[in-house]
Structures are given as C-alpha cells and as structure tokens.
Amino acid sequence: MAKIKIELPSSFLFSTVIPIRITDINYGGHIGNDTVLSILHEARVQFLHHFGYQELNESGIGLIMKDVAIDFKKELFYGDRITVYVGTGEFSKASFDLYYKIAIEAAEKTSIIAVAKTGMVYYDYLNKKIAGIPEEMRSKLQI
C-alpha cells in the first residue's frame, strides 16, 4: 500500500491548544482515529473564526470538505494537551487546501502526532453548487 505523503507549508497562520478528553479515548486506551478528524474540524472552525469567517454564512454560502488525508505518527492519551497548527495552500477559483500539524510538547521536546490535509470547497448550499471564493477571504488566508 502506498504511504500518504503530505507536504506541509513552510509556515502556519494559526495555532490552538486542544486538551484530549476522556470521550476521545477508544477501546485501545488511546485517541481514536475518528477523534483526530473531529480535532481537525475544531481547529478549522477556530481558524476561520480567528479570521472573521464561519463555515456557513447567513445566505447559505460556505465551506464544504471535499477530501481529507491524515498521516498518523504517534498515539495520544487522556490528559494530553496538543497544539494544532493550521496553514493554507493550493488555492483555485473555488477551493483551497488546509494543512494541519498536530504536535505535543513533553519533557521540553516537541513530537508530531499527525499531519493532515483537508480540501475545502466554497459551496452554495441553497443552490447546491460550487461557488467562487470571495477575493477578501482569499487574500486573508493565502500565505
């Protein structure tokens, strides 16, 4: 099986600290892979709010996730506090990619837990069709 290769951007626009809750732990005693996707969603919403945006605005135009790739590196456990870094790349007329680096600091050492990419499309939910990214949004989010 081919390994997923995610090329992270050289810099990130945003970071947030997220604690691992007991409900994030699976039967294996560590964080579930489904929870990592939920963490990406939380980081994305915080990232957008930081820049004054929402995933869905009042007129029905917003973002929809078209794809996701996650490369898991290490386990996480209850009580861990992670930092999620978010950056952008690959802008087109209607879409862009978000890149994530999930890291943890322990004993003055930073370890990468996972890296991920989500493809985001600007979408008209009312008319069920792709819409163009507003230029203001593009200029704020493009590195």
| SS3 (DSSP) at 100 | strand
| SS3 (DSSP) at 78 | coil
Q: Which amino acid is at 28?
A: G
Q: Are strands 109-124 and 95-106 parallel, antiparallel or unpaired?
A: antiparallel
If you count them, how many residues does the chain have? 143
| SS3 (DSSP) at 73 | coil
Q: What is the pLDDT of residues 27-77, one digit of tens each?
A: 999 998 899 999 999 999 999 999 999 888 866 789 999 999 999 999 999
Q: What is the pLDDT of residues 65-119, one digit of tens each?
A: 999 999 999 999 999 999 999 999 999 999 999 999 999 988 889 999 999 999 9
pLDDT > 90: percent of the chain: 74
pTM of the model: 0.93
DSSP element (H, E) containing 62: strand 61-72
